Amino acid sequence: MGFFGLSQDVGIDLGTANTLVFMKNKGVIVREPSVVAKNVSDGSIVTIGQDAYNMIGRTPGNIRVVRPMKDGVIADYETTAEMVKYYMQKALKTGSTFSSKPNVIVCVPSGITMVEERAVIDAAKQAGAKEAYTIAEPFAAAVGAGLPVWEPTGSMIVDIGGGTTEVAIISLGGIVNSQSIRVAGDEMDEAITSHIRKKYNVMIGERTAETIKFTIGRASPGDEVDEMEVRGRDLLTGFPRTLTIRSDEIAEALSDTVASIVETVKLTLETTPPELSADIMERGIVLAGGGALLRDIDKVISEETDMPVFLADDPLDCVANGTGKSLDYINHFKSQPNVAKRTHKE
């Protein structure tokens, strides 16, 4: 069947936190938050992406900022369709009149239902795709991390995104075994917000929580203690207040989230065929996604599983790069729709 508009084929990493668009022969060309600002009175879209993200916590009453992807699944179909359309058109820079309609591969969490998957494909077609296919997120992450996914050897990927953590064992172009939990970066941010509210009676915004996570956050307390000044609203007085937060208390706040991720890794390993387990023991576990940037999470997983753990070269872009590289194998998706897929969970 060949490719249609080779240079225009597009891979979309539709993430809970960020959407990245990869264009064939050009790499990642769009990277913006998966956020939409809507007018409350008539439901119309005010703005999408970075501009909408900048409004979080700062909007007047008639504008609401929403994330149409919640916990790795589509919470609001119509808004997601508009967001996909916006990002595709931004990537193609030719409005709605493409010289030739592109083939599109959209990356989806491995645990989504057939109904949700259909919604993603429809959104891409509505946005101007000629053909749209889906690829499971952990498979895309493994491709992006450079793992030998098409070979008869076991590879293990742990993709810690915004809404979900996806753990998968991959061999011969397919997912042999996978687990998906709705515990990831967003849950870490909520844990930090909750800790500061309970301990200090201070409310912080989600952007502040994210900054704390990446600045002093860690998966285990460690020997060194880092400190950071944080501003929030005192719940007793209602006035702004500045606090000094320590890295060891953030590690404590994140302990449940980290434990859930470690447990999912262990569960996946326990149900893996022995030959593939031996491959993984030799090659190690690879971490991808924004959550993989949490300091010491590789060490914690390594200690708990007794296996080598490595961070992918470009964890934030792994899934987008893998989705984009998969455009080279688009014929596999046409002839075998279940390549790089998983068993649907209804």
- pLDDT of res. 340: 53
**Integer Cα distance of 228 and 245 in angstroms:** 5
Q: Running DSSP on this structure, what letter comes out for residue 221?
A: -
- pLDDT of res. 4: 38
- pLDDT of res. 1: 32
Please, which residues have CB within 8 angstroms of residue 123's CB and are 6 or more apart in sequence? 77, 80, 81, 84, 85
- Residue 27 burial by Cβ neighbours in a 10 Å radius (0-12, 13-18, 19+): exposed
Sequence ranges of the domains in the chain: 6-140+319-335, 147-311
Nearest-CA neighbor of 108 among 128, 124, 90?
124
Cβ atoms of 151 and 176 within 8 Å: the answer is: no
- pLDDT of res. 343: 38
Please give the CATH number for the structural domain made up of 6-140+319-335.
3.30.420.40
Length of the chain: 346
- pLDDT of res. 5: 39
- pLDDT of res. 335: 65
Give the helix ranges, DSSP H, for the chain.
Answer: 50-53, 77-92, 114-126, 137-144, 185-200, 206-216, 247-253, 255-270, 274-283, 297-305, 318-325, 330-335
pLDDT tens-digit map of 67-102: 888 777 777 878 888 888 888 888 877 434 445 788
Residues of the chain with pLDDT under 70: 1-7, 94-99, 334-346
Q: Running DSSP on this structure, what letter comes out for residue 99?
A: S
Question: What are the backbone angles phi and psi of residue 101, rounded to the nearest 5°?
Answer: -65, 135
Two tokens at 329? 């194998």
**Integer Cα distance of 33 and 17 in angstroms:** 6
CATH architecture of the domain with residue range 147-311 = 2-Layer Sandwich (3.30)
**Integer Cα distance of 324 and 26 in angstroms:** 10
CA separation (Å) from 317 to 18, 140, 263? 10, 10, 25
Between 137-144 and 318-325, two packed helices, what is the crossing angle to 10 degrees?
Answer: 90
